[in-house]
Amino acid sequence: MSNPEYYQRNKEILKAKELIRYYANREKKSEYQKEYYKKHKEECKKVGYLWREKNKAAFLIQHRKHAKKYIKKYPNKILAQTLAKRKIKILKNTSCKICSGKSNLERHHSDYTKPLKVDILCKVCHRKIHRGDLYL
C-alpha cells in the first residue's frame, strides 16, 4: 500500500491526531520561539527583511489581506484615527502629555467613540500605555 492511499483512508484520524499534537505543544513552541527571537533578534529581522525584499508581491498581497481584515474588524478605530489625523494637527511646540518629550509625537484615543478627543503622546509613552505599563 502506498503512502497516499494510507493517507486517503485515514485522513480524518490523522488530522485529529495532528490537532491534538498541535494544541498539546502550542505553549512550549510559543515560549521557544520567543526565547529564540530574543537571542537572535538581529538575525531574525534580517531574514524577515530579505524575505520581504525577495517576495515583494507576495508580501504586499498578504499585507493588504490583513489590512482589509483589520479595517473590517475595527471600523470605529480606523474612522477615529482618520478623523483625528485630518482634523488635529500636532504643532511644533506641542509636547507629550506624560513625559513632556517633544519628538516622535502621536495621537492616542482613550475612547474611539469620541474621535476628536485625543491625547498627544511621544512614541515611547504611547507604546507603554498600549502594553498596559502606563495609565492616563
The predicted-structure confidence for 87-104, as pLDDT tens digits, reads as follows 999 998 999 999 999 999
Structure pTM?
0.61
Number of domains comprising the chain: 1
- Whether residue 38 lies inside any domain: the answer is no
DSSP element (H, E) containing 108:
strand 105-109
**Which tens digit of pLDDT belongs to each residue from 38-85?**
999 999 999 999 999 999 999 999 999 999 999 999 999 999 999 999
- Whether residue 119 lies inside any domain: the answer is yes
Report which DSSP code applies to 133. Answer: S
Show the domain range for 126: 89-136
- Whether residue 123 lies inside any domain: the answer is yes
- Whether residue 46 lies inside any domain: the answer is no
Residues with Cβ within 8 Å of 97's Cβ and at least 6 positions away in sequence, in order, are 119, 120, 121, 125, 136
- Whether residue 133 lies inside any domain: the answer is yes
Determine the Cα–Cα distance for residues 95 and 105; give it in Å rounded to an integer.
7
- Whether residue 27 lies inside any domain: the answer is no
- Whether residue 42 lies inside any domain: the answer is no
Spatial CA neighbour of 98 closest among 121, 132, 117: 121
